[in-house]
A = this chain, B = another copy of it.
Amino acid sequence: MPQISHRGAEMPSSPIRKLVPLANAAKREGVKVYHLNIGQPDLPTPQKGLDALKNIERKTLEYSPSEGHLSLRTKLVDYYKKFGINDIGPENIIITSGGSEAILFAFMACLNPGDEILMVEPGYANYISFAVTAGIKVRTVASYIEDGFALPPMEAFEEEITPRTRAILICNPSNPTGAVYSPEDLQKIKELVVKHDLYLIADEVYREFVYTDEPFVSAMTLGLPENVILVDSVSKRYSECGIRVGMLVTRNRLVYDTVMKYCQARLSPPLLGQIVADASIEGTEEYARECFDEYKARRDFFIKGLNSIPGVYSPMPHGAFYTVVSLPVADAEDFCRWCLTDFRLDGETIMMAPAAGFYRNPDLGNNQVRMAYVLKKEDLQRSLMLLRAALKAYNKRYTF
């Protein structure tokens, strides 16, 4: 029997999805599971996007260009202008199968196996999976719950820089912490990037969800045309995660052309998703405002509720729709599993993502979970009640 690859063995399981079999088992028993583990919004997709599917006149669902449809890329140019991203055209944009593919292709095009990339931890867990896929070494700089997961000082980044460091990846606003980097933070990152001639890969898929009064600063506005690669996605802003439409944007022509070779190999991004995204992107200012207001209200309600549970602490996230929460347990993963396998209150339970999977340092985050506040208020309220009861029962179980 042939062996699987070492790299395959080393691939981490997704902390967001690895407990899915336990959740499925609970559901088969008839248990209702509240999904706080995944950023799958319950808000509706824009009606224009849904209508576009009903109005498809094509008789053949053919390949699209490897870089995506020109129409969608042209609309994105206008969309980005609203965020101060100018001087780009459709020829700077590549449509990908979700932001996920954009990240993998950026890694492949910019870094060799053994090269190093800097990230903040806790960070989006799948970055590490894509780094393992690409044979890249991840070096992390820790941010801390007690500081609200603020950007670590540049000295901490400098300490992790080696001759193999080729890139820094930021997620702004941050999944999983909800941290939003200020204009000053971006300037510091810019200086670091220039000093060490790094690529700056900026994942800004949550840019529409910034709840502070400070203006959001895109890495694309820093004046680093050769260094910056923007990763984006329509998944979250139009509540259409399933269509798998992301994008990679760069002014660096050589990076663009190299990424295009990876795109040509996989032929094309999803046609139907592009049709939905194309229809979703225009004239949805009111939709965007409603989503923003809804998430902000959910955030205010949910974070307050979390902090009212004894031993639970969540900083106030300033963006995105996640928060990393410390719990009064030693092993948050064990608690998450137990909620799915053992805990039920009136036939219901909650699913959370253990935060350890968002850290590289095994000493950090073991008592933390990531939660997404993408459910409607009644469901968040019920989830808070379930969390409170589950913690009480779980801790009681270990103390007699």
Contacts and interface: CB of A to CB of B under 8 A. Distances in A.
Contacts of A244: 97, 244, 268-271
A262 B44 CA distance: 28
B50 A53 contact: no
Interface residues of A, number: 85
Nearest to A59: B44
A258 interface: yes
Contacts of A77: none
A242 interface: yes
A112 to B, nearest CB: 5
B270 A100 contact: no
Contact of A239 (B60, B199, B271): B60
Interface stretch (A126-134, A176-184, A343-351, A379-387): A126-134
Contact of A226 (B1, B42, B268, B273): B1
Interface string A97-129: 110110010001111110100000000001001
Given A14-B261, A100-B267, A262-B133, A7 B40 contact: no
Nearest to A271: B242
Interface string A41-62: 1111100011001101011111
A272 interface: yes
A341 interface: no
Given A108-B8, A133-B108, A266-B100, A45 B59 contact: yes
B2 A227 contact: yes
A43 B6 CA distance: 43
B265 A126 contact: yes
Interface string A239-281: 1111110000000101100110110111111111100100000
A31 B136 CA distance: 45
B254 A268 contact: no
A38 B63 contact: yes
Interface string A68-112: 000000000000000000000000000001101100100011111
A337 to B, nearest CB: 17
Contacts of A8: 108-110, 258-259, 261-262
A20 interface: yes
Contacts of A62: 40, 241-242
A41 B61 CA distance: 10
A60 B238 CA distance: 9
B126 A6 contact: no
A5 B112 contact: yes
B130 A265 contact: yes
Interface in A1-17: 1-2, 4-9, 11-14, 16-17
A66 interface: yes
Given A17-B264, A63-B242, A241-B62, A258 B45 contact: no
Contacts of A111: 5
A191 interface: no
Nearest to A136: B5
A76 to B, nearest CB: 19
A304 B11 CA distance: 51
A38 to B, nearest CB: 7
Contact of A261 (B13, B20, B197, B255): B13
Interface of A: 1-2, 4-9, 11-14, 16-18, 20, 38, 40-45, 49-50, 53-54, 56, 58-66, 97-98, 100-101, 104, 108-113, 115, 126, 129-130, 133, 135, 166-167, 197-199, 226-227, 239-244, 252, 254-255, 258-259, 261-262, 264-273, 276
7 contacts: A1-B227, A4-B110, A4-B258, A17-B66, A20-B65, A242-B271, A244-B270
